[in-house]
């Protein structure tokens, strides 16, 4: 008999998580899809139920309403709640899990709606309460954060005595044919890329202007791309959890057209998260922009090309310097053929399903709140190969200056 999971959200990432749970019926015997708009949950169920042994049910829930969530969790009685709604819901869903004593997993750290501030402090504050309740919370189990943390734990366990430098490189070589669109939730995406950049050096954050630091890198499977240093949430946890870290940075590729459009939208105030009055109604410019941009889910059939996401590690093994690159290449069109989504949702949804399976099968089960690099990476790494995100290694990578 498989396990029972509640999945919250029915967007791009959720639909991959659900498709993958349905492929893994041995672990996911029963799942419930619950989101704000129930018709989206029903549509996913209709598409997948005929071809899976996993028994799917659906429900409407406002995940910001803790009593409503608690009622749903108590009536369905899942062993884990997989949160693939938006980062704003993280704390409410964690509160409900605590009350019901159910394990929790998400793919992005909490951020308050009124300030674009990405840090783990709010969720780490739940450590003692989760420990006392005897339940597990796995934070940030998508690709980045997520697989990047698993890669780091794997490198630390098998390849290094000490890791001194990590560069996380996130390359999307996909082309959707639109002059401007975002590959996942536009609001979350634009908040992330218009924020100041930062990296950690000698235990301290160093802040940069947005997109101030640019490098060019030749990615296997994609080719040469411009990439920019961004702040990213896993820097905070990896700097604490990986031994000997001196510097850790995160780079993401962006095309010139994306940047030119973003700059223009910023200049005219369309990316602001400060509410304004419009025709007697308060609106948030960024939320209005989201409403006029293409829905990321609609990019699936149009996006061609590959992603290449991974980590370059520099450190020491047996007293000698060592460099090591672990990465995954994923093809947008192949993802679309398999689950009806492009690679950005795929590379996030597959690790979320694997992480939940790790908890349900007891491999990643310990009371408290944890980032992925605090668990044994080996069973997760095996599952990446099995479930569609095979990893590759390079023992002589080109380094990022
Ligand atoms: P979408 O916008 O496509 O989907 C979000 C879903 O959450 C929608 O179904 C939405 O419902 C639902 N939702 C929003 N608010 C509520 C609420 N209050 N109660 C119930 N449901 C709600 O987003 P994505 O699928 O692109 O992203 C999902 C998550 O994945 C985000 O947190 C994102 O940051 C994260 N992510 C992580 C990555 C990683 O590598 N770690 C990479 C990419 C994304 P409705 O349909 O009614 O609006």
Predicted confidence (pLDDT) per residue in 256-304, tens digit: 889 899 989 999 999 998 999 999 999 999 999 999 999 887 888 999 9
Question: Mean pLDDT over all residues of the chain?
Answer: 95
pLDDT band at 189 (very low <50, low <70, confident <90, very high): confident
Residue 392 CA to ligand 1 centre (angstroms)? 29
Q: List Cβ neighbours of 169 (8 Å cut-off, separation of 6 or more).
A: 217, 219, 227, 251, 308, 309, 310, 311, 312, 327, 400
Measured CA to CA in angstroms, residue 367 lies from 70, 87, 130, 137, 188 at distances of: 20, 22, 6, 8, 30
Q: Which atom of ligand 1 is nearest to the CA of 297?
A: 3
Question: Chain centroid to CA 142: how far?
Answer: 3
Q: State which H helix or E strand residue 324 sits in.
A: strand 320-331
Q: Is 220 exposed, middle or buried (0-12, 13-18, 19+ CB in 10 A)?
A: middle
Q: Are 16 and 143 in contact (CB under 8 A)?
A: no
pLDDT band at 116 (very low <50, low <70, confident <90, very high): low
pLDDT digits 0-9 by tens, 137-162: 999 999 999 999 999 999 999 999 99
Residue 31 CA to ligand 1 centre (angstroms)? 18
User: CB atoms < 10 A from the CB of 242, how many?
Assistant: 22
pLDDT value at residue 111? 85
What is the mean pLDDT of the segment spanning 348-377?
A: 98
Q: What is the pTM of this model?
A: 0.94
What residues line ligand 1, using a CB cutoff of 6 Å?
8-14, 35-37, 40, 61-64, 84-87, 89, 107-108, 142-146, 184-185, 188, 296, 348
Residue 71 has pLDDT above 90, yes or no: yes
Q: State which H helix or E strand residue 81 sits in.
A: strand 80-83
Q: Which atom of ligand 1 is nearest to the CA of 61?
A: 20
């Amino acid at each position: 008999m498989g396990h029972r999971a509640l999945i919250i959200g029915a967007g791009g990432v959720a639909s991959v998580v659900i498709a993958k749970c349905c492929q893994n019926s041995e672990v996911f015997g029963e799942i419930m899809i619950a989101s704000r708009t129930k018709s989206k949950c029903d549509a996913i169920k209709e598409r997948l139920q005929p071809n899976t042994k996993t028994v799917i049910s659906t429900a409407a829930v406002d995940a910001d309403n803790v009593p409503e969530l608690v009622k749903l969790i108590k009536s369905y009685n899942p062993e884990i709640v997989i949160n693939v709604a938006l980062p704003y819901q993280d704390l409410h869903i964690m509160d409900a899990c605590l009350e019901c004593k159910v394990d929790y997993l998400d793919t992005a750290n909490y951020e308050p709606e009124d300030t674009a501030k990405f840090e783990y402090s709010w969720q780490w504050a739940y450590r003692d309460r989760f420990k006392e309740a005897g339940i597990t919370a796995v934070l940030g189990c998508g690709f980045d954060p997520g697989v990047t943390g698993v890669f780091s734990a794997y490198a630390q366990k098998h390849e290094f005595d000490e890791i001194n430098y990590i560069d996380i490189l996130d390359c999307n070589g996909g082309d959707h044919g639109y002059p401007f669109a975002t590959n996942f939730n536009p609001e979350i995406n634009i908040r992330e890329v218009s924020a100041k950049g930062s990296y950690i050096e000698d235990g301290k954050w160093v802040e940069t202007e947005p997109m101030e630091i640019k490098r060019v890198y030749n990615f296997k499977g994609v080719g040469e791309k411009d990439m920019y240093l961004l702040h990213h949430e896993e820097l905070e946890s990896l700097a604490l959890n990986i031994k000997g870290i001196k510097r850790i940075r995160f780079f993401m590729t962006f095309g010139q057209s994306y940047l030119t459009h973003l700059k223009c939208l910023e200049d005219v105030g369309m990316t602001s998260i400060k509410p304004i009055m419009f025709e007697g109604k308060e609106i948030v410019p960024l939320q209005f922009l989201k409403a006029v941009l293409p829905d990321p889910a609609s990019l699936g059939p149009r996006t061609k090309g590959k992603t290449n996401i991974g980590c370059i590690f520099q450190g020491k093994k047996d007293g000698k310097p060592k460099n090591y690159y672990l990465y995954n290449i994923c093809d947008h069109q192949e993802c679309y053929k398999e689950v009806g989504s492009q690679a950005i949702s795929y590379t996030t949804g597959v690790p979320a399903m694997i992480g939940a399976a790790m908890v349900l099968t007891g491999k990643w089960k310990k009371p408290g709140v944890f980032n992925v690099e605090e668990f044994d990476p080996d069973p997760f790494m095996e599952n990446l190969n099995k479930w569609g995100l095979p990893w590759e290694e390079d023992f002589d990578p080109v380094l990022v200056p």
